[in-house]
Amino acid sequence: MENTAYLDTHAVVWLYNNDLAKFPEKTLALIESHDLLISPMVILELEYLYEIKRLNETATTITDTLQQEINLSCCQVNFLQVVANALSQKWTRDPFDRMIVAQADINQAILISKDDMIHAHYNKTFWL
């Protein structure tokens, strides 16, 4: 998983919206040079945000588009393995953050996220 990076939900939304100005230059370079994965929890969070009207597109529309445009893939690690890892992510009550971090942590992969809480608790978080 050396050349793999996971994307947090907000990064997926900004990429979908082509809002590249929200990313630091080094983060964009990392995105362009790595295979990109998301946790299935990102898909669920995208749909949740759509349902509460914070997004205008469904999770399927967003992820299908990014799969075509940037070859985004969904991580296939066993769900029970991710849940087991998430049980140790006690620094937050947010189930989305716990699962997204757990997914990246299982593979000791980079997680592209601007979230300060994630930065404080997952040492492979990248946002420069």
Distance CA 89, CA 12 (A): 22
**Helix (H) / strand (E) containing 6:** strand 4-7
Distance from C-alpha of 23 to C-alpha of 113, rounded to nearest angstrom = 10
Instruction: Please state the φ and ψ torsions of residue 112, each to the nearest 5 degrees.
Output: -85, 110
Mean pLDDT confidence for 87-91: 96
Indicate whether 89 pLDDT > 80. Answer: yes
Provide mean pLDDT across the span 82-90. 97
* Model confidence pLDDT, tens digit, residues 96-124: 999 999 999 999 999 999 999 999 999 99
Query: pTM for the complete prediction?
Result: 0.96
**What pLDDT sits at residue 1?**
60
Whether residue 82 contacts residue 99, with contact meaning beta carbons closer than 8 Å, is answered with yes
For residue 2, what pLDDT band results from cuts at 50, 70 and 90? confident
- Residues 120 and 67: their CA atoms lie apart, in Å, by 30
Q: CB–CB of 86/92 below 8 Å?
A: no
Phi (first) and psi of residue 38, to 5 degrees: -130, 155
Average pLDDT value for residue range 36-42: 98
Average pLDDT, the chain: 97
* Res. 49: pLDDT tops 70: yes
Q: List, in order of start, the domains of the chain with CATH numbers.
A: 4-121 (3.40.50.1010)
